[in-house]
Amino acid sequence: MEKLVLISVLLGLVCGSDVIDLSGGLFEAEISQHDLMLVEFFAPWCGHCKRLAPEYETAATTLKRNDPPVPLAKVDCTDDAGGKDTCSKYGVSGYPTLKIFRNGDFSSEYDGPRSADGIVSTMKKQSGPMAKEVSDVKSLQKILDNAQQPVVVGFFSKEGKEKENLVKAASNLFTNYKVVYSLSEEVNKEFGHTHAVVLFRPVHLNNKFEDNKVEMSAAITRANIEKFAGDNSMGLCGHMTPDNQDLFKKPQVVAYYKVDYKQNPKGTNYYRNRVMKVAKNYKDEGLTFAIASKSDFSGVLESMDIKSDDDVKVVAWQSNGEKFKMEEAFTNDGKALDAFVKKFLAGEIKPFIKSEPAPASNDGPVKVVVGSTFNDIVKDDTKDVLIEFYAPWCGHCKSLEPKYTELGEKLKDVEHVVIAKMDATANDSPAEYAVSGFPTIYWAPMGSKSDPKKYQGGREVDDFIKFIKKESTKPVNVGKKKKSKTDEL
């Protein structure tokens, strides 16, 4: 084992890189030697991977000097010597993919910044103690009084498996929760818990509609702790921010207004209490309620034509990403909100779709799609559709445009194939057509409109034609027009 680790280190030295290359058969042996490791799964031809490489290298050099050191590694997913198998084992489907490993086991996806400074900052946080011990009543009370995020507390009488399970769970929870534990009889007695995991919500969110703490009833396992925290962290109506918005499960109802717990906590809670009065009636409906500051989500509101005035605005979100705007004015008695929620749950409200005006003429080789025509064009089940999502400012999109137009010209006589494009910055598309960068291209054949295939091939005209011929529902003949009688004469 020591020889394997030494070989990997020597390889890094020979190549002059502080990133450990684990593309061969050394992966499992190497990661098991480290408490914490960040691994990049990449492909040599990937443009995003090439842009990440110098940032990743700089971060690796910096983190090598950290106390404790945090090694960074990489795996070439095209490497037949072991890289392909490793990437397959860990479900890598796009490049680059970054994953965090602890003691040889996968811990979590890396979802932090991809700049050198961002990687260093994120991994330094990961390297610190995820769960801290509190040994006296005053220390724990201070943590609870000052917390701006939910606090998960383990009350134990001694070291053991359950305390270790809490520590392991903390590796996934620490970015959004404070995790601490007590082995003190005094602390446990004062707080009235022994052999328990309890979630405390931030003091400023305390309210008359619910208790500010919840005790876990399930067995104290890592999986149960993580689920318990996720299910209970926000209570009846939490405070959504850009940093914690992923904790709020959909479907959800969000009230946007001037939320400010520092300068105006009383005014903030005035409207929150009105929302909670309604929320308590839907506790068993699987619906999440939240308040959020308009300034934090100005982009979302602007995209839905919601003005940044002093009024409370409400938006509901379905699990599939569809959004629904409450057109009625928010009332302090909660009746307007309650009526809106009832209609939302009953499916009686049409979703809001951001859309440019449909073009007056759409006879070109590439069909222009807008939000309001998406279903008519892309989801037309009599057509196979190749749809490009672009941004007007995107250089790659501009480079692709003449080739994409040429593709449309070559296929304009193939009746069952449509080449289309949509400005994704000005129009909404269904959740299954998720746009992660520009350009993003999907193939939506007949019969699979709700399960489109992301195009990952080359971007030359011949690459597209080869792909379409292979994937098309019906045969595709390019450039083979039937001769007319005039041609024959």
Residue located via tokens 């994704």: 424
Strands, sheet with 37-42, edge to edge from the N-terminal-most edge strand = 19-21, 72-76, 37-42, 97-102, 105-109
277, two tokens = 């009065």
448, two tokens = 């699979």
77, 87, 237, 397: the active-site residue = 397
Annotated catalytic, 77? Answer: no
15, 46, 77, 237: the active-site residue = 46
49, 77, 87, 237: the active-site residue = 49
65, two tokens = 């000097």
Kind and range of the H or E run holding 386: strand 384-390
> How far is 229 from 198, CA to CA, in rounded Å?
9
240, two tokens = 């959504």
> How far is 264 from 282, CA to CA, in rounded Å?
28
> How far is 188 from 217, CA to CA, in rounded Å?
17
> How far is 235 from 486, CA to CA, in rounded Å?
76
Annotated catalytic, 87? Answer: no
Parallel, antiparallel or unpaired: strands 72-76 and 453-454: unpaired
CA proximity to 325, closest of 347, 349, 360, 289: 349
> How far is 223 from 419, CA to CA, in rounded Å?
46
CA proximity to 379, closest of 390, 389, 387: 387
Asked if 454 contacts 388 with a C-beta cutoff of 8 angstroms, the reply is: no
Annotated catalytic, 46? Answer: yes
Question: Residue 235: what residue type?
Answer: G
* φ, ψ dihedrals at 42, nearest 5°: -140, 175
Strands, sheet with 384-390, edge to edge from the N-terminal-most edge strand = 367-368, 417-423, 384-390, 440-444, 453-454
> How far is 180 from 150, CA to CA, in rounded Å?
11
Asked if 276 contacts 289 with a C-beta cutoff of 8 angstroms, the reply is: yes
> How far is 449 from 464, CA to CA, in rounded Å?
19
CA proximity to 83, closest of 29, 37, 42, 34: 42
154, two tokens = 């383990």
* φ, ψ dihedrals at 200, nearest 5°: -110, 130
Residue located via tokens 């030295």: 13
Non-local CB neighbours of 480 within 8 Å, separated by 6+ positions: none
Active site residues: 46, 49, 394, 397
